[in-house]
Amino acid sequence: MQTDSTSSRLSSDWQRPAPVARSPLSGLLLLVGSVLLGMTLGAVLATGVAYLLNSLTTDGNTPTPELTALLLNPTRYPNAWTTIMLVQGVSHVCSFLLPALVFWTGFEKQRWGDFQLPHAGPLSQSGWLLVPVLVIAFMPLNGLIIEWNQGLHLPETLAPVEQWMRAKEDQMGELTKYLTTFSTIGQLLLALLVIAVLPAIGEEVLFRGVLQRRFTDWTGGNPHVGIWLAAIVFSAIHMQFYGFVPRTLLGALFGYLYLWSGTIWVPILAHFVNNGFTVFMVYLRQRQVVSMDIEATQSVPLWAGLLSLLFSLGILYYFRQSNQQLND
């Protein structure tokens, strides 16, 4: 016998508008086109923001630095930290969240509530609490995989490509180190917004809410194929070869949390914890509150990685089983 809440949920699912029928190729082209347009808009707005902020913070005799110069040599310019952070925030919204919403609502004729999977039910309080525990428990294992991935080498014939990738990786590492050096609590809060909050919402809506769902539909309804394809694209779009494998695994983890919970807010929470916990731990180390360097993957012993693997698998199993029982 159905309860009123169950009947109401089924009725709501029944009234949901069906996605617009189109071929996988046309759907993918529309999504890619939306992302490219968003990235173009983001680049224009980011350039404008950088120019405006630097115009306000330099005197009339000092030439306003270009955005590229800021990114390559941020320490040479005053107020570069704030400018780059705001630029990254604008770029991220335009490159991920905005295209996802345009595709979802404009082309697919869906609503925000339709990110909820049809089988989704209420998630227990313990289920929500397990998400941050799982993400933190997964970090030592991911640290070992990061260390392994960074040690990979391309064949000798591709040595110039590897040199280019290493140079880009070093450049990105220097910029990341600069942006995660905090002198005030205000910088920490802005960093949490730009590095944790905005990516958690924008990337999960695009890669899990839209791409994972559509990959699943386009490949005959197999959720595992959808999860791993979306995770691979999620990792590839970050353009960091030496972090490709661990980021793919992280994307798959978020994908399974979405599948087993049915709500987009669970992978958003997981993504936020992953990024935000790292930023906060870096801040605490700079303030000498903790001595552990969370970004030093070489400090993860093998036994810690294996323990992390077992603990993570146990939490995932419990999360899946308890959530299935809740929704049966």
Is residue 271 within 8 A of residue 199, CB to CB? The reply is yes
Q: What is the token pair recorded at 175?
A: 């910029």
Coil, helix or strand at residue 100: helix
CA distances from 261 to 79, 115, 243, 319 (A): 42, 12, 27, 8
- Return the ∠ at Cα 127 (arms to 125 and 133), rounded to 5°: 110
Show pLDDT as tens, one digit a residue, over the chain (328 residues).
444 444 444 334 444 556 666 788 888 899 999 999 999 999 999 888 887 877 666 555 555 567 777 777 887 777 789 889 999 999 999 999 999 999 999 999 999 989 998 877 778 888 899 999 999 999 999 999 998 998 888 888 888 888 888 888 888 888 888 999 998 999 999 999 999 999 999 999 999 999 999 999 988 889 999 999 999 999 999 878 888 999 999 999 999 999 999 999 999 999 999 999 999 999 999 998 988 887 776 678 889 999 999 999 999 999 998 887 555 4
Residues in contact with 186: Cβ distance below 8 Å, sequence separation at least 6, in sequence order: none
Structure confidence at residue 7 (pLDDT) = 41
Closest CA to 258 of 270, 247, 246, 249: 270
The gap between the terminal CA atoms of the chain, to the nearest Å, is: 13
Q: Are 101 and 81 in contact (CB under 8 A)?
A: no
Q: Using an 8 Å Cβ cutoff, are 285 and 291 in contact?
A: yes
**Could you give the dihedral angle defined by the CA atoms of residues 61, 85, 41 and 237, in that order, rounded to the nearest 10 degrees?**
130
Task: Say if CB 176 and CB 240 are below 8 A apart.
Answer: no
What integer pLDDT is reported at residue 10 of this predicted model? 38
CB atoms within 10 A of CB 289: 9
